[in-house]
Amino acid sequence: MEAFLLSTGIVALAEMGDKTQLLSLVLAARFRKPWPIIWGILVATLLNHALAGAVGAWVMTTVGPDVMRWVLGVSFIAMAGWMLIPDKLDDIDAAPKGRLGVFATTTWVFFLAEMGDKTQIATVALGAQYAPLVAVVAGTTLGMMLANAPVVFFGEALTRRVPIKAVHAVAAVIFLALGVGVLWLGA
């Protein structure tokens, strides 16, 4: 349960103001069909985070717990710094034009936008640290949906009310505490 709850909280906070959250806003404004967008985000996130979590678990078995402790600790501290650099709408491409449909376009674009993203890297780190992997992927996926579904439905009105800088600061403190905890207390 710890892996699930921690994964949910970390990803929900990390996703605030992230490029994929902004992509959700762009997709909602462009297509105005919330349910296919929501399903596309869910499928893309499940695929992306399952791969990321598996990579994290594989890395853990490959390098061993001592090396991984340092990798995780430094990674979480780096994520703390990265959280203080918000993404901009200019950093993402608008949904491609074509005949894919709303669901397929959302799935494809969201999957690609999530590659190398803060939440994907957090999922790799969480997959390396916690078992079972299904709890990590379920938690990170729920966190992603908690952050993105309201944006699809409520859009710009919601993003104006959420103090993104404060959310980023809280997430940075959490990542910093996790990093220091892993390094100080051991994995």
Q: What is the pLDDT of residue 74?
A: 85
Please write the tens of the pLDDT for every residue from 26-55: 888 778 889 999 999 999 999 999 999 999
Q: What is the pLDDT of residue 91?
A: 46
Of the candidates 164, 125, 130, the residue with the CA atom closest to the CA atom of residue 14: 164
Whether the Cβ atoms of residue 135 and residue 56 lie closer than 8 Å to each other: no
The structure tokens listed for 142 are 């729920």
Question: Could you list the residue range(s) of the whole structural domain that residue 177 is in?
Answer: 2-185
pLDDT band for 92, please (50, 70, 90 cuts): very low
Please write the tens of the pLDDT for every residue from 3-16: 999 999 999 988 88
Domain count within the chain: 1
Please provide the average confidence, as pLDDT, over all residues in the chain: 83
**In sequence order, what are the residues at sequence separation of 6 or more whose Cβ sits closer than 8 angstroms to the Cβ of residue 52?**
120, 121, 123, 124, 127, 140
Between 115 and 149, where is the model more confident?
149
The structure tokens listed for 24 are 């959700």
Please write the tens of the pLDDT for every residue from 115-136: 878 888 889 989 988 989 999 9
State if pTM tops 0.85.
Answer: no
